[in-house]
Amino acid sequence: MQRVLRSAIVLTVISALSSASAQGGKMTLTSPDMRPGGTIANAQVFKGMDCTGNNISPALSWTGAPANTKSFAITAYDPDAPTGSGWWHWVVYNIPANTTKLAAGAGDPARKLLPAGATQGNTDFGQPGYGGPCPPKGDKPHHYHFVVYALDTDKIDVPANATAAMVGFNLHAHGLAKAELIALYGR
């Protein structure tokens, strides 16, 4: 009986390892506009609220998504914002599964640089689209978490005015894998 149980456990482990290998391994997220742990450039900083950046969303690219990915989503979040709940800077979802990168500036709804079908959700600036870093003067540099999610659904179904938290709930419910790039900004 123990031999059968051990064989079943070994087969389960081998199957899990084979499945992970077949799905492409670990996802990675990179950007030519920022490096992990580096400082976010003025081009990506918010323009307004006493910040003088250009508010251009960074170019992003990702690899290693599981083979059964049906769509992607991207979020940018500052957990250090003095709000008690952080600050959502960017929420994009329903990105088609054949997409592996977004151009710089794709977060500007007027430029229409997102792939067909992709939707930008409301941020904590109160509207859809990218809103760059603008931490209070004198704060330690804040950590900005850019995350790409591989999802098991073609489309997450949320209302047009959904909060970032509601979108995030759906991203976690449908997540297959994710990759994160954290950069800093202070002033």
* pLDDT digit string, tens, across residues 105-133: 999 999 999 999 999 999 999 999 999 99
Distance CA 169, CA 129 (A): 19
What CA–CA distance (Å, rounded) separates 125 from 30?
A: 25
What is the structure's pLDDT at 161? 81
In the predicted model, is pLDDT for residue 136 greater than 50?
yes
Question: CATH fold of 26-185, please?
Answer: Phosphatidylethanolamine-binding Protein (3.90.280)
Least confident of 7-11, 31-35, 124-128, 183-187: 7-11
Q: Where are the domains of the chain?
A: 26-185
Q: Which residue has tokens 């809103």?
A: 131
Q: Is residue 137 scored above 80 in pLDDT?
A: yes
Residue 13 has pLDDT above 70, yes or no: no
Confidence of residue 39 (pLDDT cuts 50, 70, 90): very high
The pLDDT value given to residue 131? 97
Cβ-contact 30, 61 below 8 angstroms: yes
Nearest to 181 by CA among 105, 70, 77, 51: 77
Strand partners, 150: 72, 177
Q: What is the mean pLDDT of residues 49-53?
A: 94
Give the strand order in the sheet containing 87-96.
119-120, 87-96, 71-78, 142-151, 175-185
Cα separations in angstroms, 141 against 29, 54, 78: 22, 19, 11
Please name the helix (run of DSSP H) or strand (run of DSSP E) that holds residue 176, with its range, or none. Answer: strand 175-185
Q: How confident is the model over 143-167, as pLDDT tens digits? A: 999 999 999 999 999 988 888 999 9
Q: Give the pairing of strands 47-48 and 71-78.
A: unpaired
**Between 21 and 45, the higher pLDDT residue:** 45
Copy the structure tokens of residue 97: 């599964």
Q: Contact 158/170 with Cβ under 8 angstroms?
A: yes
Percentage, residues of the chain above pLDDT 90: 84
What kind and span of H or E run contains 130? Answer: none
Give which of 61, 38, 75 is closest to 164, Cα–Cα: 75
Summarize the confidence of residues 70-96 as an average pLDDT: 97
Asked if pLDDT for residue 19 goes beyond 90, the answer is no
State the residue for tokens 């918010």. Answer: 46
Give the mean pLDDT of the chain: 89
C-alpha–C-alpha distance, residues 55 and 89, integer Å: 11
How confident is residue 25, by pLDDT bands cut at 50, 70 and 90? low
* pLDDT at residue 160, as a whole number: 82
